[in-house]
Structures are given as structure tokens and as C-alpha cells.
């Protein structure tokens, strides 16, 4: 069952986080942007929320279980359908890219969500996942204190290696990684790989020739 109640009730509190943590938010945007495909307008964000990532990244479409959050994303110019990651309301091979940012920890079935992302991707398309790495200090703090959080109390955090394994099981190949929120590094640093940054982005491909336009 989608965990929408906290987001329905506390939309403005959610929005305020991005204002209070503008530096972290910008670093996460830059890490995702570093791996974005050239035509984000043909992408779908799963768990688009209020559009805080889709809108500035130019992602054209979103799916979101919370009607309250979906309305805010539409206000930001994103075309949003109501639905969940485990059962995307789209035909096969509908999109050139699929984006999931801080979404994996909220889905009920990560394997099914990854398979659905694979299904709606065109051959040669890519998935981008951005998440807080459970192996980082921040990830461990989030996990240890999630019962105290309005938004994360039902979340399940994953390590980078776990996310890579789920993507591979769904059929994705050739992963490329970026990381940010790196302790001791200058603010906004985006680096290759993982293991130092709290926020990790993985880009992986659906095998096959990209569709010609």
C-alpha cells in the first residue's frame, strides 16, 4: 500500500525542507543532472512528489500516489498520472528514461518497481535512481531515527550494492555512478563512484538500440 498519508498531510513541511537545505538540494540536483540523458522531456519520474526534481531537470512526465503532491507537481509544469511504481499506468516502451529520486525507500516491492521501470523504457533507454546510501553516516542516521520522522518512519533504506543488485535482476546493464554530500569535500562536490557520498545516483541502461526520432 502506498505510504501517502504523511505527504498528503504535511506537504508544506515537505516543501520547507528544500528551502532550509538549499545547498544539499542543489548538490543532489547536480548529481542527477550529471547523468541525465539529452532529452529529459521524454522521461518519466516515478514518485515525482511535488516536482522538486522533475521540474528543474526538465522531466516531462511523472507518476505519484499522493493526489496532494501530484497537484503541486502539476503546478510546476509536470504532466502527472496518479499511480504507484509497482504498477505503472503506461504501455510498454513509452519513455526514453525513467527517474526515481528518494523513491526506492518508499516502495513496497523494489524488484517489481525496477521491472516496471524496465518495461516502460524504450530499448536503449536509461533508468536513473538517486537515493541516500544506507552505508553512509547520513543513511545510518536516517535509518536509526526513522521512527521519529514524519516522512521516513515506514521507509526502507538500501545500500548502493543492494540497489545495483535489484537493477541487475530487472535486466539493467552498464551502471554508472555519481555521489555527492561527501563529508569533508567542498559543498556541492559531485564525484564518480560511491562509498564517500551520502547521496548516490546510478544510471543504468535497458539493452537494445535506442529509438530513432
Output the average pLDDT for the chain.
93
Domain coordinates in residue numbering, the chain:
5-204
Helix runs in 22-150, H state only: 22-33, 54-57, 67-75, 110-120, 137-144
- pLDDT 10s digits, 80-134: 999 999 999 999 999 999 999 999 999 999 999 999 999 999 999 999 999 999 9
Say what the pTM is: 0.93
Query: How far apart are alpha carbons 80 and 64 in whole angstroms?
Result: 7
Which three cell numbers mark 142?
536516517
What residues have CB less than 8 Å from 148, skipping those under 6 apart?
A: none
With beta carbons less than 8 A apart as the criterion, state whether 133 and 194 touch. Answer: yes
- Cell numbers found for residue 1: 500500500
CA distance 123 to 66: 30
Q: How far apart are CA 101 and CA 44, in angstroms?
A: 11
Residues 10-27: tens digit of each pLDDT: 788 888 989 999 999 999
The CATH number of 5-204, from 1.10.3720.10, 3.40.50.150, 2.60.260.40, 3.40.50.300, is 3.40.50.150
The predicted-structure confidence for 155-177, as pLDDT tens digits, reads as follows: 999 999 999 999 999 999 999 99
To which H or E segment does residue 173 belong?
A: strand 173-180
Q: Work out the average pLDDT over 139-146.
A: 92
How many residues comprise the chain? 213
Amino acid at each position: 500500500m502506498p505510504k501517502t498519508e504523511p505527504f498528503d498531510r504535511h506537504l508544506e513541511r515537505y516543501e520547507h525542507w528544500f528551502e532550509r537545505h538549499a545547498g544539499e538540494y542543489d548538490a543532489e540536483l547536480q548529481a542527477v543532472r550529471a547523468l541525465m540523458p539529452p532529452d529529459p522531456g521524454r522521461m518519466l519520474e516515478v514518485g515525482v512528489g511535488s516536482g522538486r526534481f522533475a521540474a528543474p531537470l526538465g522531466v516531462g512526465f511523472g507518476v505519484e500516489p499522493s493526489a496532494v503532491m501530484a497537484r503541486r507537481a502539476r503546478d510546476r509544469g509536470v504532466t502527472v498520472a496518479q499511480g504507484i511504481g509497482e504498477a505503472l499506468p503506461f504501455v510498454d516502451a513509452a519513455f526514453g528514461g525513467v527517474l526515481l529520486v528518494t523513491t526506492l525507500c518508499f516502495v513496497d516491492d523494489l524488484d517489481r518497481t525496477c521491472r516496471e521501470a524496465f518495461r516502460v523504457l524504450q530499448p536503449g533507454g536509461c533508468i536513473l535512481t538517486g537515493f541516500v546510501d544506507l552505508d553512509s553516516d547520513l543513511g545510518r542516521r536516517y535509518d536509526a531515527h526513522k521512527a521519529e520522522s514524519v516522512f521516513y518512519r515506514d521507509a526502507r533504506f538500501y545500500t548502493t550494492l543492494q540497489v545495483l543488485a535489484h537493477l541487475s535482476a530487472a535486466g539493467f546493464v552498464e551502471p554508472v555512478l555519481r555521489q555527492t554530500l561527501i563529508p569533508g569535500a567542498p559543498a556541492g562536490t559531485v564525484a564518480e563512484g560511491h562509498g564517500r557520498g551520502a547521496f548516490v545516483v546510478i544510471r543504468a541502461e535497458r539493452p537494445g538500440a535506442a529509438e530513432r526520432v
